[in-house]
Chains A and B, each alone.
Chain A
Amino acid sequence: MTNVNCDQLIDYLNGTLNEEEQKQFEAHLAECPECRDIVDATGELPYLADPVVPNAGMKARILDAVFDEEAQQTPLAEEPKKRDRPAPPAPMAKRGFRTSKWTPLVAAALLVSLLGNAYAFYELSDQPDAPAAPEVAFETVDLQASEAFEGTGTAALVHEEGALNLLVQANQLEPTSGDQVYQVWLLKDGQPIPTGAFTPSQENEGAVFFSLDENTEGWDTIAVTLEPNRGNETPQGEVVLSAAIDPEA
């Protein structure tokens, strides 16, 4: 059956109906199984594309932006992200000192010593007339689990005296088998370097501490992959946890 409303289907799909027409067409859609079936069929069209692995850290960036949008209530028109680098990280939504997620004793001790200092300096340098404090910057991020991965993780990065210290801690990890390891990577413009590997404990927890003396700036993403073996220079396995980090931090 074709009537005036059915003719608006393509305008509807094209998003070019005005508000009133849109409402009318949606009412029509509820009544017209033929139009609804056609709309439903368009939901299958993406499978004509080849599957593409999502950008590293994309989920974290998008969800941060989505939930951040709400907090800021900025109009949609002002929303486009900066496009001056390949994978612009969302603003750091979660920054601060949180110990609750850092259950293993070693990790907690390391974090306290690192972040304790950093936090003190951070506070200090926040003062308008603070004396020149040592250059210390830190951030903590919650790592976002990839689809179908149950684990959770947190990363802390501390810039101190020209070095970058990285601490990653993860929970509820799936056990590894054979030579498998969880490998941590730092990425800059999509290029990864390995920054430590670990296997989960019996409690399915794991932590790794890594320190970089050179090339400490500009990392935009942290990721954890499940590698088939230790020592890979580029990731061979699936990304299981990842987050955007602030390259300026």
Chain B
Amino acid sequence: MEKISDALLYERVRGKDKDALEELYDRYEKMLFSYLCKMTGDRDLAEEALQEVFVKVWRGVGSYDESKGKFVAWLVTMSRNAAVDLIRKQKKPSVPLDEIAEVESTDSSVEETAEWQEKSEQIHQAVRHLSEEQQKMVHLFYFKGYTHETIAEKCGIPLGTVKSRIRLALKKLKTSLQMVQEGGVLDDKREL
């Protein structure tokens, strides 16, 4: 049976199909939760952010269609912004990052699926093509939960410059990711 596309599932969600929402949840639970844990350093905060994302998906806040790019990218943007808001409200994460890492390393049920491993290798490889400065921008914007204003403030760079640097970094990332993927590592049919 062919896997139904995210966009089609989202259409069904808009028609209040609970099974479709559950399917989308299952597809992205681990990916988004892992991301949110890294970003917030707090499992509870990550869960809260993930809940907000799916509440918004279900309620049709900021609706998605394919003209906005891939569904997963749209979800990632929402997840990032939900976490940024929660981090801001909390001031700081209650659990330090290294503690999360510790929880993980003792968890024997962690199994990196082949797909995760493949995706992970690709993005890590793509990131290595970025300059140190560009890697820093991506890290601060996507994994530290800093807004571009905060980055400008912390790095003492004008806001406009920060924006263009993040954009350049992401553009380079896109290009190198395509290169890595076209290098034959990616099986197109499995692309999310």
Interface, chain A (partner B; CB < 8 A) = 6-7, 9-11, 13-16, 22, 26, 29-30, 34, 36-55, 58-59, 61-63, 65-67, 69-70, 76, 79-81, 83, 86-88, 147-148, 235-239
The docked-state distance in angstroms from the alpha carbon of A40 to that of B164 is: 18
Q: Is the C-beta of B12 less than 8 angstroms from some C-beta in chain A?
A: no
Name 5 A/B residue pairs within 8 A (Cβ), A-sorted. A7-B163, A43-B192, A55-B44, A76-B56, A80-B89
Number of A-B residue pairs, CB cutoff 8 Å, is 198
What is the 8 Å Cβ interface bit string for chain B, positions 14-42, against chain A (1 contact, 0 not)?
00001001100110011111110111000
Q: Which residues of B in the span 85-122 have a Cβ within 8 Å of any Cβ on A?
A: 89, 100-101, 104, 107-112, 116, 119-120, 122
Distance in angstroms from A123 CB to nearest chain B CB is 30
- Pair A38/B174 contact, Cβ less than 8 Å: yes
Query: Given the interface contacts A30-B68, A44-B122, A47-B123, does A16 sit within 8 Å of B147 by beta carbon?
Result: yes
Neighbouring B residues of A22 by C-beta, 8 Å: 62
Query: Given the interface contacts A46-B32, A58-B33, A81-B51, does A66 sit within 8 Å of B120 by beta carbon?
Result: no
Query: Given the interface contacts A46-B34, A46-B35, does A65 sit within 8 Å of B29 by beta carbon?
Result: no
The docked-state distance in angstroms from the alpha carbon of A52 to that of B77 is: 19
The docked-state distance in angstroms from the alpha carbon of A41 to that of B138 is: 12
- Pair A69/B59 contact, Cβ less than 8 Å: yes
Interface of A is mostly: helix
Query: Given the interface contacts A41-B170, A51-B34, A69-B55, does A63 sit within 8 Å of B25 by beta carbon?
Result: yes
Q: Is the C-beta of B124 less than 8 angstroms from some C-beta in chain A?
A: yes
Q: Is the C-beta of B10 less than 8 angstroms from some C-beta in chain A?
A: no
- Pair B34/A49 contact, Cβ less than 8 Å: yes
- Pair A80/B170 contact, Cβ less than 8 Å: no
- Given B56, B104, B174, B192, which contacts A50 in the complex, CB threshold below 8 Å? B104
- Pair A45/B35 contact, Cβ less than 8 Å: yes
Distance in angstroms from B41 CB to nearest chain A CB is 11
The docked-state distance in angstroms from the alpha carbon of A235 to that of B108 is: 9
The docked-state distance in angstroms from the alpha carbon of A39 to that of B33 is: 20
Neighbouring A residues of B143 by C-beta, 8 Å: 48-49
- Pair A47/B167 contact, Cβ less than 8 Å: no
Query: Given the interface contacts A14-B81, A42-B77, A55-B47, does A47 sit within 8 Å of B122 by beta carbon?
Result: yes
Smallest CB gap from A54: residue in B: B33
Query: Given the interface contacts A42-B73, A67-B18, does A62 sit within 8 Å of B170 by beta carbon?
Result: no
- Pair B148/A52 contact, Cβ less than 8 Å: no
Neighbouring B residues of A235 by C-beta, 8 Å: 109
Neighbouring A residues of B74 by C-beta, 8 Å: 39, 43
Beyond the given A43-B76, A54-B29, A236-B108, please list 6 additional residue pairs across the A-B interface where CB-CB is below 8 A. Answer: A9-B167, A48-B143, A52-B34, A53-B109, A58-B47, A87-B43
- Pair A66/B47 contact, Cβ less than 8 Å: no
Neighbouring A residues of B107 by C-beta, 8 Å: 53
Neighbouring B residues of A13 by C-beta, 8 Å: 77, 80, 141
Distance in angstroms from A13 CB to nearest chain B CB is 6
The docked-state distance in angstroms from the alpha carbon of A177 to that of B33 is: 31
Smallest CB gap from B52: residue in A: A79
Smallest CB gap from A236: residue in B: B108
- Pair A42/B170 contact, Cβ less than 8 Å: yes
Smallest CB gap from A146: residue in B: B26
Neighbouring B residues of A54 by C-beta, 8 Å: 29-30, 33
Distance in angstroms from B172 CB to nearest chain A CB is 10
The docked-state distance in angstroms from the alpha carbon of A49 to that of B177 is: 16
- Please name the 10 residue pairs, one residue from A and one from B, whose CB atoms are nearest each other, closest first: A43-B73, A46-B35, A30-B67, A41-B174, A49-B38, A15-B81, A43-B72, A39-B69, A47-B119, A52-B34
The docked-state distance in angstroms from the alpha carbon of A6 to that of B171 is: 12
Neighbouring B residues of A55 by C-beta, 8 Å: 33, 43-44, 47
